[in-house]
Amino acid sequence: MKFDIITIFPNIFSGFLSESLLSKAIRKKLITVKIHYLRDWTEDKHQTVDGKPYGGGPGLVFKVEPIFKAVTALKSKVKSNKSKVILFSPRGKKFNNELAKKWSKLDQLIFICGRYEGVDERVAKYVADEVISIGDYVLNGGEVAAMAVIESVSRQLPNFMHDADSASKDDHAQYTKPEVFGIKGNVLRGKGKKQKTKILRVPKVLLSGNHKKIDEWRKGNSN
């Protein structure tokens, strides 16, 4: 699986890609992640990637020309039809786990990370295959969104997770040792400063050994 990221801030990804499971997957060549500096596809001496919006308004908008050139060059390096170009935008379709599973079957994902006031709409209409949002909020750019999608898609790949079931399981409430935990103070949610010691216990069903009941409890305590 190859991820190609188009950005004007390539160093943002350094720590993210050098830690934990992603780093291991890269070393094992399960995934390849390449960061591409958008300004490398400009021709003027100032390496201009943005301009003032037509019709007026604040800020700057990413130009279509360098993005088109970057995407064209990156797509040509992967001889496969199983490739998608993704533009991140607050106006895009909401990303979810079903998309992550679907995209994990591809050979290449190209991410366009916008900044400032956005990206020329011709990129969304004619260059990107899909316009994606990772939530109902606005980020400074697409880089954080790209990180979230890379991690979510990579989890679906064979041999990425030590336990394959971890990639597909439902997200339910979890407990571990100690079985009983006593706490005193004002840190408990909704409690006053003068509270007595609160005893926090693991639900008895999880200690029962009855796997049918445990499964039922987990289904009732999942998202």
Catalytic annotation, residues: 90, 117, 155, 170
**What beta strand segments (E) does 48-176 contain?**
50-51, 61-62, 83-94, 108-112, 130-133
57 is in an annotated binding site: no
Q: Does the annotation list 112 as a binding residue? A: no
Q: Does 67 carry a binding-site annotation?
A: no
Name the 3-class secondary structure at 183: strand
Q: Is 137 annotated as a binding residue?
A: yes
CA distances from 111 to 12, 18, 148, 171 (A): 14, 19, 12, 27
Half-sphere exposure for 36 (CA within 13 Å, toward CB): 26
Alpha-carbon distance values, 140 to 58, 89, 116, 117, 137 (Å): 15, 11, 7, 9, 10
Q: Which residue has the tokens 């706490």?
A: 183
On whether 55 is known to bind a ligand per the annotation, the reply is: no
- Residue 38 CA to residue 51 CA, distance in Å, equals 14
Q: Which residues are annotated as a binding site for S-adenosyl-L-methionine?
A: 114, 134-139
Binding residues: 114, 134-139
